[in-house]
Amino acid sequence: MKLAYVQLALAMAFVGANVAVGKIIVEHVPIFLFSEIRFLIALLFLIPMSRMSKTTKRVPGKKSQWGILFLQAFFGVFLFSVLMLHGVQYTSATAAGIITSTVPAIIALLSFFFLKEKMSVVQAFSICLSVLGIAIITYQAPSSNTDPHSFLLGNALVFGAVISEALFTIFAKKLSDLFTPVQMAVWVNIIGFLLFMPFAIKETVNYNFMNLTFSMWLLIIYYAVTASVLSFILWYQGVTKVKANIAGIFTGFLPVTAALAGIVILKEPFGWSQSLGILSVLGAIFFGTRVTTSNKSSRNDAA
């Protein structure tokens, strides 16, 4: 169980850090073109990894499986990327990070309705702590050089990405027993690559690739490997071992690392509101995982 926690935490840490990295990249590369390049690079890693796998379950065999894979890629890859990358153009990476602290609450609600998972009082409390982050950032005034309307628009787009991320986890849980983490990552990236292709082709026509510096290519490669390879595989590995609402609590690492990356990389301001938001999320993770460990120990003692 502890290994699953580490895998889930690392997966979300990569995603969170990439909020700041993505904000830098989309200042130089159109969003759809960047996303297409990202998936192409990721597949160059994932396809050989999949071929090296010894298991034979490589291609979805039912229409329902294809449907779930498509929805997973559409919400968790296509829509999440579009909303998040557009959102961080209008708001700060720190604000975007803290808004994503609502992911555990959304996942818990969706898992309750769609996966019929029960929610304990302690888990509900941990979700409330996590949601506290968005309340703090909502009432925090934007910086003096930021248009308030753009700030709110960016926050709304990021919250749309939050809902997409929650749906991604729900659909991943539904397929976690059918495919290996690498195989699921391959198919989701292939579908994402195809979804972005028409828009990327249009942007490619008018884009001068000579504008891309070596350092920018390194950032794109880093983003592709961490966001589309490592985070996917680690998340799939972890989500197979725990309930969806417990996995949702670990999305709290997303706002923490996004806020820290915004502060360190983008030199965004750091004050009491950011500190309180981060502490709330860490508290949510502590209480949410503690109840699971306690329940497991009780069952072992009873046995």
What one-character-per-residue DSSP string does 211-255 give? G--HHHHHHHHHHHIIIIIIHHHHHHHHHTTS-HHHHHHGGGHHH
Sign of CA dihedral 189, 252, 219, 237: negative
Which token pair is 94?
């720190």
List, for residues 138-197, the tens digit of each pLDDT value: 455 555 555 666 778 888 898 898 889 888 878 877 777 777 888 888 888 999 999 999
Q: Is residue 230 part of a domain?
A: yes
Round the average pLDDT of the chain to a whole number and report it: 78
Give the range of the structural domain holding residue 14, as residue numbers without chain letter. 2-53+62-292
Does residue 1 have a pLDDT over 60? Answer: yes
Q: Is residue 37 part of a domain?
A: yes
List, for residues 62-87, the tens digit of each pLDDT value: 778 888 889 989 998 899 889 988 88
Q: Is residue 302 part of a domain?
A: no
pLDDT value, residue 20 = 85
Q: Taking the model in full, what pTM does it have? A: 0.74
- pLDDT tier, 298 (very low <50, low <70, confident <90, very high otherwise): very low
Q: Is residue 303 part of a domain?
A: no
Q: What is the DSSP letter of 117?
A: -
- pLDDT tier, 254 (very low <50, low <70, confident <90, very high otherwise): confident
pLDDT value, residue 299 = 40
User: Above pLDDT 70, what percent of the chain?
Assistant: 75
Helix axes 253-264, 272-302, angle to 10 degrees: 150
List, for residues 92-139, the tens digit of each pLDDT value: 776 776 677 677 677 777 777 777 767 677 667 766 766 665 566 545
CA atoms of 273 and 271, how far apart (whole Å): 6
Q: Is residue 300 part of a domain?
A: no
Q: Is residue 211 part of a domain?
A: yes
Number of domains observed in the structure of the chain: 1
CA atoms of 13 and 80, how far apart (whole Å): 16
pLDDT value, residue 220 = 94
